[in-house]
Structure 1
């Protein structure tokens, strides 16, 4: 259900809908909308804002959703890398298991560095697009 609610928000012209809008559009109960929104809020994919002059909430897709999602994933990779390095040290880096853990930690370190470079290039691309400059590949 959360994926349907997210897709509806993403596909809306404004990127935001009320609970009633979502229930009507998706033909689901208000309880189903509430559960989906609760999950999507917990994973930071949607936010809630009060409709001006109303008591109704609007749910919206976060600005720069994917950038923020990948950035949070980068933090997870850092934790995994450190855990793997600790495991390699505990097992002994010259044991077969320790070598596998150290190699996996090296992979996560490499992946993290590449992701940071990709995110920097994405930022540059977004700035260029907003400024009306040509955007490379």
Structure 2
């Protein structure tokens, strides 16, 4: 952990646990949430499994499963340490953006499934069909508007980077 006087490690540990709990409420594995936010809160570019385990007070086996999950989501990268059998783990640059892009096909899948459900329920003129058609409409709208939102984000991010220079 950092020894910087402006860094509050206790508050950061609380932040990590709170964010992991929030993501767990949405179905994200809690340990994966703890690992990703430990990496986000680290001043170091990457951490070893041992460093992650020490910071979280868990076993290396718990870290192994979490980083495997996060690697599968393409949020974390495994970097081999030259001359060692150990790896270090780091966040993928713009990991939230990349995960959002990767999951955009899910929006179409949800919209199509909702359309099929609406048809099976008797169409949008039935109560159930209207609910399901509304779901399909929402996910179609999100999918149609996501590219422009992501473009806007890229512009905001570029402006912030220019401002920081």
Calculate the TM-score normalised by the size of structure 2. Answer: 0.68
Match among 104, 119, 124 for residue 74 of structure 1: 104
Q: Secondary structure at the match of 1:3?
A: helix
1:15 aligns with 2:45: yes
Q: RCO (CA 8 Å, sep 6+): is it higher in 1 or 2?
A: 1
Q: How many residues align?
A: 133
Match among 126, 145, 148 for residue 117 of structure 1: 148
RMSD across aligned positions (CA): 2.2
Match of 1:57 in 2: 87
For residues 29-44 of structure 1, the aligned pairs below 5 Å read 29-44=59-74
Query: Would you identify which runs of 4 or more consecutive aligned residues in structure 1 move more than 4 Å?
Result: none
- Once the two structures are TM-superposed, the CA of residue 79 in structure 1 deviates from its matched residue by 0.5
Match of 1:95 in 2: 126
Calculate the TM-score normalised by the size of structure 1. Answer: 0.80
- C-alpha distance 52-84 of structure 1, shift in aligned 2 (>3 A): same
Question: Distance in 1 between the 2:125 and 2:59 partners?
Answer: 58
Q: 1:54-81 CA distances to partner (integer Å, 9 max, x unpaired)?
A: 3321111111111012223322111110
5+ residue gaps in structure 2?
1-30
